[in-house]
Amino acid sequence: MTLNYGLTSIRDLFAKLQRDAAALDEEVNSDRMFNFVITGYSMIDWVKNDPSVPTAAKAAVAVQALRDDIWLKACGELANASKHFVLKKQSPTTASATTAQGYGVGRYGMGGYGVGEESIDILLNDGASFHCLDLVNGVVGSWQRFFLSHGI
């Protein structure tokens, strides 16, 4: 029995991640951010379980490298906090994610007239902060490097 309704490989899920990234680039909002972080972090489980992924890419060291990647780590913490309302991890990397919307917030010319685009900012515990689109670029780049290094 299959329950993955059309997404059958890690490449299919990566294509979804790219569509999620494009949707966020079109307009930042919480719905699109939720979809992106859930997909971006879930890909690690697909690496471990997808039969099309080479054995070397499934090795514990390769999977741990994904979990240690700063972009995927922040993505995973946001995904888990989004799913479970809180982050139960003992030593999280991510301190907060904040959202704002209104005049002067978000990218110029984006979002609904008079409302504007939502802006989502992420703060790490080391003091680094970045816009959600920086996270998007980092996560997509991390996956592209992983695919390249493992011939996926």
- Per DSSP, the residues of 21-85 read HHHHHH---HHHHHHHHHHHHHHHHHHHH-TTS-HHHHSHHHHHHHHH-HHHHHHHHHHHHHHHS
CA distances from 152 to 39, 61, 78, 131 (A): 18, 17, 26, 29
Q: Which regions in the chain score pLDDT beneath 50? A: 1
- Per residue in 14-47, pLDDT (tens digit) is 999 999 999 999 999 999 999 999 999 999 999 9
Strand partners, 129: 123
> What SS3 state is found at 124?
strand
Which pLDDT value is given to residue 62?
96
* Packed helices 132-150 and 60-68: angle between N→C axes, nearest 10 degrees: 160
Which pLDDT value is given to residue 96?
86
Residues 6+ apart with CB under 8 A from 95: 123, 124, 125
If one counts every other C-beta atom within 10 angstroms of the C-beta of residue 36, the result is: 25
Which pLDDT value is given to residue 5?
72
Please tell me whether the overall predicted TM-score, pTM, comes out greater than 0.85 for this model.
Answer: yes
